Structure 1
Amino acid sequence: MIGWLKPAAFAAPLPLAEVDPTFRRLRRRVFAGIFIGYAGYYLVRNNLALAIPDILREHPEYNKAALGSALTGLSIAYGLSKFLMGSVSDRSNPRYFMPLGLLLSSTIMAAFGLVPELYGSLLAIAAIQVLNGWVQGMGWPPCGKTMVHWFSTRERGLTVSVWNTAHNIGGALVASLAFVGVLLFHDWHAKFYFNAFIAAAVALGVYFLLQDTPQSRGLPPVEQYRNDYPPGYSDADERTLGFREILFGCVLRNRYLWAIAAANAFCYFVRYGVENWIPTYLETAKGFSFKESSIGWSLYEWAAIPGTIACGWISDKWFRGKRAPATMLFMALTLAAVVVYWLNGKGPLWIDYASLIAIGFLIYGPIMIIGLHSLDLVPKKAAGTAAGFTGFFGYVFGSAISGTGVGWIADHWGWGGVFTTMVGCCVLTICFSALTLGHQAESERRVLAAPP
């Protein structure tokens, strides 16, 4: 590992009286860091989807399938990076690792908006998206690592569900800020560079908020602090694992991880099949303006915030730590909302808005639950790799295919073919999630030894 990225050394233990107030204060700080930081990553991820109508007007020789291929390149690079960077993140200090990726992504998107040659050919557009997808993979793994080190099993469902809404705040702000940037600069390229400048400022703030492990600040492991231990927990669980030990010992032999990874692929197809094509569908198929499609995009993202938290709460309270039933329930309801969005056709805009609100409310819960489930299934020192593994399937086999696939299906079979495919993906997500019904997140309390 590069010297300045390696995990921080354990510090001398703090006096007992300082442990609780210090733990509480630093937990708030690191949670703010991963929340704001991950929202910042979204400001510079899917900007191309917002600009596809502009690029098609400026370059009529392009088509939706070709530009969709650039989105596919981003998704494949992101999926591969999320998996590989997960193993790097598990052996790195998130305080440096996370803002580094965000600064790199901001630089790439700023250049894309400011240098006309970078969108003057399809090859250049695809190359930039692939490069951005790779550095975007540095965002999720340090967040997962931070959560399993600072929050214990019993509180993780609510913690992860609240943190997961950073996806939606960032996803909603990307359209809103792009709209503001276009108004300020009278330039559609501001959809890239205006967001990039804001994301770079966020990266600097994240550096000052994040910490590595509790032990690096003289605190005990979170399991000891919360008296909330996974089954079989011992001091060996605090040892940093090697790459082969994580990959072959913890990830690839876990059949539940394979099942939720497959479910993630189909779930991501629906998520990005709707999200990335909101502007194109509403503007080209229904004749709405960029402002109206931007409102639809934002409604989709903002609706996900209460939906994600509700899904996490239902998983913990209704299903007592079983993750699969919550995924299956929310995907069945997502299917119904997708059908309404489809059948509205040339109908009024408010029905499209209502459908997007419903889909946004419902689809992000399963996305969050699958990520949470991956953390439950492995030791905490393998958390980034496990999340990267399910993310790899989600982006390479789900989001990537929705990029090229939705564009290709729309060009050949129209939007009816697109929605039929999404309905099928909802059904398959439910089926693969059902394979994990036998797993339940568990923890135990231990009797503490009396002080001498």
Structure 2
Amino acid sequence: MRSLAPGIKLITSFSRDSWYRFFILLLTFVFYTTYHLSRKPISIVKSQLHRNCSNVIHPADLNITDNDTWCDWAPFDQNNYRNLFGVLDNCFLVAYAIGMFFSGIFGERLPLRYYLSSGMILSGIFTALFGLGFYWQIHSLWYYCLVQALNGLVQTTGWPAVVACVGNWFGKGKRGLIMGVWNSHTSVGNILGSLIAGVYVSSAWGLSFIVPGIIIAVAGVICFLFLVEKPEDVNCTPPQHHESVEQEPLLRNSSSNEEIFSANTSTAVETVEDHTEAISFCGALRIPGVVEFSLCLLFAKLVSYTFLYWLPLYIANVAHFDPKEAGDLSTLFDVGGIVGGILAGLISDYSGGRATTCCAMLIIAAPMLFLYNKIGQNGLPTTIGMLLWCGALVNGPYALITTAVSADLGTHECLRGNSRALSTVTAIIDGTGSIGAAVGPLLAGLISPTGWNNVFYMLIAADVLACLLLSRLVYKEVRGWCGYTTRLRGFKEI
């Protein structure tokens, strides 16, 4: 009998379940990449909407007497342009933060495939509408704010849906590493969005929005055609979120029949029936760790999104690069974020300490941000190195909390087998974080006229606060490593 070709042996060595899991992981990776790809253009285009017109060659037939802002795009041609940029960012981010708290509730109750695909198509429409303002010669701030706010609302469909879908297909084993690699879609989307927007920013900035809008809309159609929400839908084996543990026997309170769990175990002690009722908002808040990680993410995301929206303009102003070069250089921050997210997932899987991993990276990030502001522009090699380090340390905890931590808490043992909490928990954590994402760029717009140093002091303070908010969970993890056990009361009802 002839031996099979090596490639065929490799293909057949994986089970049907494994191929489906890989397919879903790849599909959701592409989907959320397009979400971030469509968010990035605004940060690239800012430096084009308001430029130093004395360095721009003007057309021969243009009279620019007493007009120092002839090359700028109204209404961003005024001296308060940074404040206007902050308002523009805030319209998207406030709408995103508000919508996120409701998005998870809808995501638990609606088919994920319809919910996700419709959100992507609508997001593509609103992203393109912003760019069409260039061709329609729209100079109204209200138009751009409205489009940004509507886009922010529909973009909330993405994160709870993709995390819930991945959570349905993957168990807890090596979840930090798997989701650390998977979560690089955020940075990949930022990089692609920067590069695509940079191609058109100097010639026709409208295309910097229209092209990403088309891409995410096409991805929405693909989602409708191919997404599989749960393994059971294609007769695959569902992952085991809850397994028996030989340590810490389950105790019951005879008066209230409430269950008590060990904080050192990551799985439930006994197998229980699956609940079909979606968890309530207040019930999700009662899951141990949700509040702490949500508040931590608020400050961590404040830092990350300030870089997302203001880094290209900072590089252009401080290092004097043109808009395209500044945008290309800012992608190094996201490259570092990819490495940081994977590293955070790997370390947390090995150590079993999600909170401790986040806290350690946040502690190192604070002085690194200070160094970047002081020496980050001293030559191109220094700039590249500092951007990579800052990206890894800033985005590492952010990536870990929004993926592995959210999935862990959404399948926490106190839920007693309720598999419908994942989208709500994810939405609460990311929605709280999105409040910080809204506040950070707004504060940067208000503070930056007083000097970029003050912006970095604000970011460092946010990093320290994020670290402090995890102190209780870090203490419990360290006690667990030292052999102490802490018992947490479960819930009578969720």
TM-score where L is the length of structure 2:
0.78
Asked if residue 176 in structure 1 is aligned to residue 177 in structure 2, the reply is no
Of 8, 12, 23, 1:29 maps to 23
For 1:295 and 1:257, the matched residues in 2 are separated by 36
CA contact (8 A) 2:299 2:466 kept: yes
Deviations 1:82-104 (A, max 9, x none): 22111111223222222221111
Q: Tell me, in whole angstroms, the C-alpha distance in 2 between the residues paired with 1:225 and 1:433.
A: 25
In structure 2, C-alpha distance between the alignment counterparts of 1:408 and 1:164, rounded to whole Å: 31
Greater Rg over alpha carbons, structure: 2
Matches within 5 A, 1:28-427: 28-56=22-50, 57-59=72-74, 60-61=77-78, 63-116=81-134, 120-182=139-201, 186-223=203-240, 230-232=267-269, 234=271, 236-237=273-274, 239-242=275-278, 245-249=279-283, 251-317=284-350, 319=351, 321-344=352-375, 347-371=378-402, 372-379=404-411, 380-396=419-435, 398-411=436-449, 413-427=450-464
**Residues of 1 paired with 2:93 and 2:304: CA distance?**
13
Corresponding residue SS for 2:109: coil
Q: 1:389 to 1:233 in 2, by over 3 A?
A: farther
Q: 1:225 & 1:409 partners in 2: Cα distance? A: 48
Residue identity opposite 1:407 in structure 2: G
Cα 1:63/1:173, change in 2 over 3 Å: same
Deviation at 1:112, TM superposition (A): 1.4
Residues 46 and 241 of structure 1: is their aligned pair in 2 closer, same or farther, counting only changes over 3 Å? farther
Deviations 1:418-446 (A, max 9, x none): 011111111111111222222699xxxxx
| SS across alignment from 1:51 | helix
Q: Structure 2 CA distance, aligned partners of 1:233 and 1:86?
A: 28
Given that 1:311 and 1:326 are in contact with CA atoms closer than 8 Å, whether structure 2 keeps it comes out as: yes
Question: Could you tell me how far 1:182 is from its partner in structure 2?
Answer: 4.4
Which TM-score applies when normalising by structure 1?
A: 0.85
Q: Matched residues in 1 for 2:28 and 2:138: separation?
A: 32
Decide whether the 8 Å contact of 2:410 with 2:423 is kept in 1. no
Write the distance in 2 (CA, Å) between the matches of 1:206 and 1:226: 32
Contact 1:335–1:423 (CA under 8 A) maintained in structure 2: yes
SS in 2 for 1:377: helix
Cα root mean square deviation, aligned: 2.4
Which segment drifts farther, 363-372 or 109-118?
Answer: 109-118
Per-residue CA deviations over 1:138-164 (Å, capped at 9, x if unaligned) read 111111111221100123212211111
Q: How many residues align?
A: 413
Cα distance, 1:236 vs structure 2: 3.1
Structure 2, unpaired ranges of 5+: 1-11, 51-71, 246-265, 412-418, 481-494
CA–CA distance in structure 1, aligned partners of residues 227 and 140 of structure 2: 39
Q: Percent identity?
A: 25
Q: Decide whether aligned partners of structure 1 residues 404 and 331 sit closer, same or farther in structure 2, where only a CA change above 3 A counts.
A: same
Name the SS for the 1:276 alignment partner: helix
Partners of 1:345 and 1:361 in 2: how far apart? 15
Counterpart Cα distance in 1 of 2:314 and 2:178: 35
Offset at residue 263 of structure 1 (A): 0.7
Which residue type is aligned with residue 256 of structure 1? G
- The one-character-per-residue Cα deviations of 1:387-421 (angstroms, maximum 9, x if unpaired) are 1111112111x11111211010112x211110111
Residue identity matched to 2:19: R
Structure 1: segments with no counterpart, 5+ residues:
1-17, 442-452
Q: Displacement, 1:382?
A: 0.9
SS class of match (2:456): helix
1:431-442 matches, within 5 Å, as 431-437=468-474, 438=476
Instruction: Determine if contact 1:164/1:368 at 8 Å carries over to the other structure.
Output: yes
After superposition, what is the alpha-carbon deviation per residue over 1:199-250, rounded to whole angstroms, capped at 9, x for unaligned?
222223333342011122223431189999930564533x3323xx43122x
CA distance in 2, matches of 1:358, 1:25: 35
Q: Secondary structure at the match of 1:436?
A: helix
* Shift of residue 313, structure 1, vs aligned partner: 0.3
Q: CA deviation at 1:134?
A: 0.6
